[in-house]
Amino acid sequence: MKKLFLLVVMLAAMNASGQWTQCDGIFGGNVISIATFGSNIFAGTELKGVWFSSNNGSSWIQTALYNHRILSLATSGDNIFAGSDGYGVYLSSNNGASWTQYLLNSRSVSSLATSGNNIFAGTIDYGIYISTNNGLSWAQTALNNKTVYSLSISGSNIFAGTDLGVYLSTNNGTSWTQTGLIDKWIYSLAISGTNIFAGTKSKGVWLSTNNGTTWTQTALNNISIPSLATSGSNIFAATYNNGVYLSTNNGTSWTQTALNNQSIYSLATSGINIFAGTFSNGVYLSSNNGTSWIQTALNNINIYSLSSSGNNILAGTFNNGVWLSTNNGISWNQTDLNNESVLTFATSDGNLFAGTGSSGVYLSSNNGTNWIQTALNQSIFSIAISGSNFFAGTTQGVYLSTNNGISWTQTGLIDKWIYSLAISETNIFAGTKSNGVWLSTNNGTTWTQTALNNKDVRTLAISGTNIFAGINNYSGIYLSTNNGTSWTQTTLNNQSVYSIVISGSNIFAGTNYGVYISTNNGTSWIIKNQGFYRVPIIYSFLVSYNYIFAGTGDYSVWKRPLSEIISIQNISSEVPSSYSLGQNYPNPFNPTTKIKINIAKYGEVKIIVHDVMGREVQTLVNESLNPGTYEVSFDGSTLTSGVYFYKLITDGLTETKKMLLLK
């Protein structure tokens, strides 16, 4: 059983628990399922549950079902049903504000359909279930040993797309008959009048005009069709890698719409609007039958790099170029560098440089609004600038430009992947793939391999005489204090580290398991993942305007107040003999004070702020701490003068102390 080490600091006003919050505008998930209900749109995502929009996708709200893979969605009256991967069916009657899980809670529900009071759930491996009471109870139908990818209902006819073709029931699932479309995986079904369309795995779209007795393959015949949707006489087909197709003549011919280079998982129509759920790029909307599409605000992106330029924050994404925020991450706009993977940024004298995954270095002189391509046309993993010298790390070694990228020269470090670069006075350090860290003291003319010589070095950071190297393959962070002559592995030694940023005496490490911080040069580390609904990979950091921003894999950009995340510091790793609570100092204080605590055993630590009436103000710390001595900072600048109390509760110990704020 975990031991709770609770430090309650008594103070005034409202709760302001410190944690990471997701920035608006670049978020979402791979969208597997979409359903519309009136003017409301629901999107089921790969990793982040169900999202809701009431304005045609201009903005989205994550519903209370936020931590499941959602394979299917269906609406009936005021009810929205969500089929999850491994957790059965959820129901919401309030647009996703709350959800109830029902008895079908150990099945992967790959398809849902409603007819009157009946709800049908197609599952992986267990066939079709029926509920007649809004999901309170379920009965397995006679189709009970198949994987059911799709369901569609027309009158009393229920069609089921399985891994062995299409089945039909005319009696609510009491019995099923296999139709003439057999031995094919049926990913999707759609009905228009007397026409039934079936989207298959790798065999395109098939059509039946006689309730499935016979089927004809349409002209879209050699591609996988994950989803189908109809709108009047129009039939839309979602494909992998080739976007959305449209047929206006029952499949005799098909035309590729303007959304033509993406993998589409799901389609839904509402009036004249067609919504397409994509792989990696969220939801798109067309109001003109696919002639043009706009990306809605649900536009999940991997964030590889972050930078600031003036008042602007820039995010480098996977395949979606550079996004720009002018309001501290509240909203984002895509710049005209919009179709590249942007792996790194650097700034110099008002110029902003972006290194891309396939097209070299781009330059912006207007804070990232517009970009021009420089002469270096390679994959760029890292950029570092020293005076007029610009160094670029590529798959072919390090290149140098002395004229803002107009021309580039290859340095002496060739034939290596350069993941990271860092500069300290006349020393240039290069972190490589599998070949450790290299050093040049003459602007790259010659290079020497340092003692860290067989590691995959993804990131480098320098603070004074300390050089930190973040290593892939669960090797953590190494430290050198002598320009790489020797290296020592820090206690962060079991994570893959993709990013490091230093702010004062604080070192932040972005890993495959979220954020770590060290206040003592890597001697000890504290996990700082509060607020993440699923702990992400951290590819990049930015410290700007009293916030720290984190660029993540699949979860876009998050931010956290810098003062809050560094409120606790480890000042000694020596294991105390017992827990203890120190008197705050100074005392009286105005407006800041420090509290020292001794932690005897590893455990969860929570620091909460209350006033004398017991009203909670702020959660200062809520995390697991290793044994040691810690110092916690508290800022009472928003409080009134008076007496306050703080209390420590842990195994066998309760202690209270008084402090005085005087203004």
Predicted confidence band of residue 618 (pLDDT cuts 50, 70, 90): low
Check whether 503 has a pLDDT greater than 90. Answer: no
pTM, to two decimals: 0.64
Question: For residues 87 and 56, is the Cβ–Cβ distance under 8 A?
Answer: no
pLDDT digits (tens, 9 = 90+) for 308-351: 887 888 999 888 789 888 888 877 888 999 888 999 999 888 88
CA distance 583 to 605: 18
Count of beta carbons in the 10 Å neighbourhood of residue 493: 14
Which stretches of 434-550 are DSSP H helices?
Answer: none
What's the confidence (pLDDT) of residue 300?
A: 61
Residues 6 or more apart whose Cβ sits within 8 Å of residue 23: 325, 329, 330, 332, 549, 556, 557, 558, 559
pLDDT digits (tens, 9 = 90+) for 224-240: 999 999 988 899 999 99
Strand 31-37: give its sheet, edge to edge: 31-37, 40-45, 50-53, 61-62
Token pair in block for residue 300: 């999940």
Token pair in block for residue 31: 């969208």
Going by the DSSP 8-state scheme, the letter that residue 589 receives in this structure is: B
What's the confidence (pLDDT) of residue 622?
A: 62
Rounded mean pLDDT, 260-269: 90
Q: Where are the domains of the chain?
A: 4-18+569-661, 28-229+260-295
Most confidently modeled range among 300-314, 349-363, 588-602, 615-629: 349-363
Question: For residues 36 and 270, is the Cβ–Cβ distance under 8 A?
Answer: yes
What's the confidence (pLDDT) of residue 334?
A: 83
Tell the residue number behind the tokens 């009157």, with chain if given: 116
Strands 234-238 and 227-231, sheet pairing = antiparallel
CA distance 83 to 131: 13
- The whole-chain average pLDDT of the chain stands at 87
Check whether 16 has a pLDDT greater than 50. Answer: no
CA atoms within 13 A on the CB side of 471: 25
Residues 6 or more apart whose Cβ sits within 8 Å of residue 366: none
Q: Which CATH class is domain 28-229+260-295?
A: mainly beta
Going by the DSSP 8-state scheme, the letter that residue 654 receives in this structure is: E
CA 568 to the chain's CA centroid: 27
What's the confidence (pLDDT) of residue 14?
A: 29
pLDDT digits (tens, 9 = 90+) for 512-551: 999 999 988 898 888 888 878 678 899 999 988 778 999 9
CA distance 263 to 261: 7
CA distance 160 to 196: 11
What's the confidence (pLDDT) of residue 509?
A: 97
Residues 6 or more apart whose Cβ sits within 8 Å of residue 285: 56, 57, 273, 274, 275, 276, 293, 294, 296
What's the confidence (pLDDT) of residue 297?
A: 66
More reliable by pLDDT, 213 or 323 = 213
Tell the residue number behind the tokens 């973040």, with chain if given: 470
Rounded mean pLDDT, 353-358: 94
pLDDT digits (tens, 9 = 90+) for 19-68: 788 776 555 457 899 998 878 899 988 877 888 888 888 778 888 888 78
Rounded mean pLDDT, 62-91: 89
CA atoms within 13 A on the CB side of 355: 28
**Among the ranges given (68-77, 392-401, 647-656), the one the predictor scored with the smallest mean pLDDT:** 647-656
Check whether 456 has a pLDDT greater than 70. Answer: yes
* % of the chain surpassing 90 pLDDT: 54
Burial class of residue 75 in the structure, from the number of CB atoms within 10 Å of its CB (0-12 exposed, 13-18 middle, 19+ buried): middle
Angle at 521 between CA 518 and CA 522, to 5 degrees: 60
Token pair in block for residue 322: 């550079």
Token pair in block for residue 446: 């010659």
What long-range pairs does 583-590 form, CB within 8 A, spacing at least 24?
583/657, 583/659, 584/634, 584/646, 584/657, 584/659, 587/659, 587/660, 588/659, 588/660, 588/661, 588/662, 589/636, 589/659, 589/660, 589/661, 589/662, 590/636, 590/661, 590/662, 590/663
Tell whether the torsion through CA atoms of 56, 66, 514 and 619 is positive or negative.
positive
List the one residue out of 479, 471, 581 whose CA is nearest residue 521: 479
Burial 14-36 (b: 16+ CB within 10 A, else e): eeeebbbebbbbbbbbbbbbbbb
Burial class of residue 188 in the structure, from the number of CB atoms within 10 Å of its CB (0-12 exposed, 13-18 middle, 19+ buried): buried
Question: For residues 430 and 437, is the Cβ–Cβ distance under 8 A?
Answer: yes
Q: Which CATH class is domain 4-18+569-661?
A: mainly beta
More reliable by pLDDT, 533 or 456 = 456
First to last CA, the chain: 43
Residues 6 or more apart whose Cβ sits within 8 Å of residue 425: none
Count of beta carbons in the 10 Å neighbourhood of residue 604: 15
Check whether 620 has a pLDDT greater than 80. Answer: no
Q: CA-based Rg of the chain, rounded to a whole angstrom?
A: 29
Rounded mean pLDDT, 183-197: 93
Rounded mean pLDDT, 140-147: 93
More reliable by pLDDT, 3 or 311 = 311
Beta-bridge partners for 454: none
